[in-house]
Amino acid sequence: MDDRIRWLLEGDPWVEYGTRISLLGQNLQDPEVVQARRRMLEHPFTQNLIAELQNWPGTVLNSHKSPSQSFHKLSFLAEIGLDQHDPGMQTIIQRIFEHQDPDGPFQLVSNIPVHFGGSGQDISAWALCDAPVTLYALVRFGLGNHSRVQKGIEYLTKLVRQNGWPCAVSKELGNFRGPGRKDDPCPYATLVMLKLLASLPDYRDSLPARQGAESLLNLWQTRSGQHPYLFYMGTDFCKLKYPLVWHDILHVTSALARFPWLKSDPRLEEMRGIIRAKADADGRYTPESVWMIWKEMEFGQKKTPSRALTLQVMKALEAI
């Protein structure tokens, strides 16, 4: 066991748990894994997130980029390893199921001003920059084969175009569309759809997955001239940041690394090379940008290496 693994095992319980599962390959019945998972579930940070999400869908959606939004916090719980059987999760899942569009995607409470093409009223609706994240969390919770989850996945997957997924919203949001050309792909919608499909064995090698992956890799290759929907892949994009919330190099690399057929793609390897170069002498990674709502966490500062960030980087670089 190298020093970096030992260092990770000394971190917060979700870091220890993730290290044991993803890097050491220990099984869920291993006593050390069981104990780490128990500490993760009992940790005040985890407990507070579970308690907050009991009120799903929470406050009116005001920014898809904000990590304070319920669907981002739900995804965080899914990524650190919670599942449908953990205390409090059934209530959250039931609340999510109560807000399902007849077409399949799960809804949040939104309010799009009239001058942006909306109604100006609080309504239940979905957009392609939130619905895939909710579905991804449900899949990670162990509900990937649930008929209601499958319905949402199938509907959103069919929205793909040859150049990836567009800016798309439910009918309740009227004519709303982000600041871009209609025919352009939305980089973030494409990213979160790929993240969803990568978590599903039946979709991982599908044509939509390949179209979406090619879209993101092409945008990276042509990043100096293409900025659809004002998404850039420049200096800020390349800053390391955790948790995975928005459109940045670690989030994109983590998603694309889940597709085995991209293993030797030079464009993905270029992104990995940029990330590798950010390691310190001990192979640890320090956040270069942070989400202020989590500034009290060890991954919410820019002065010292973060175990949570380092674990995520190692998973992205090693395609775990």
Angle between helices 187-198 and 207-221 (to 10 degrees): 140
Instruction: Say if residue 113's pLDDT is above 80.
Output: no
Mean pLDDT score, 231-257 = 98
Residue 137 makes CB contacts below 8 A (sequence gap 6+) with 71, 74, 75, 77, 78
CA 127/CA 130 separation, integer angstroms: 6
Mean pLDDT score, 100-115 = 88
Confidence of residue 120 (pLDDT cuts 50, 70, 90): confident
pLDDT of residue 61: 78
Q: How many CB atoms lie within 10 A of CB 273?
A: 11
| CA 318 to chain centroid | 18
Mean pLDDT score, 16-35 = 98
Q: What is the maximal distance between C-alpha atoms in the chain?
A: 58
Confidence of residue 175 (pLDDT cuts 50, 70, 90): confident
More confident call, 179 vs 142: 142
- The percent of residues in the chain predicted with pLDDT above 70, rounded, is 98
Confidence of residue 316 (pLDDT cuts 50, 70, 90): very high
Convert 61-74 to b/e letters by CB count within 10 Å (16 or more is b).
beebeebbbbbbbb
CA dihedral defined by 206, 211, 214, 218, rounded to 10 degrees? -170
pLDDT of residue 318: 87
CA 103/CA 8 separation, integer angstroms: 43
| CA 167 to chain centroid | 17
| CA 165 to chain centroid | 16
Residue whose entry in the numeric block shows the structure tokens 């959250």: 92
CA 148/CA 18 separation, integer angstroms: 29
Mean pLDDT score, 207-224 = 98
Mean pLDDT score, 230-247 = 97
When the pLDDT of each residue in the chain is averaged and rounded to a whole number, the result is 95
pTM of this structure: 0.95
Q: What is the pLDDT of residues 263-307, one digit of tens each?
A: 999 999 999 999 999 999 999 999 999 999 999 999 999 999 999
Instruction: Say if residue 117's pLDDT is above 70.
Output: no
Residue whose entry in the numeric block shows the structure tokens 């929470």: 58
More confident call, 116 vs 181: 181
pLDDT of residue 76: 98
pLDDT of residue 118: 64
Confidence of residue 10 (pLDDT cuts 50, 70, 90): very high
Report H helices in the chain.
3-9, 13-18, 31-42, 44-53, 70-80, 89-97, 131-138, 147-157, 187-198, 207-221, 249-256, 266-276, 307-317
Confidence of residue 178 (pLDDT cuts 50, 70, 90): confident
pLDDT of residue 116: 65
Instruction: Say if residue 62's pLDDT is above 90.
Output: no
Mean pLDDT score, 109-132 = 83
Mean pLDDT score, 27-31 = 97
Residue 269 makes CB contacts below 8 A (sequence gap 6+) with none
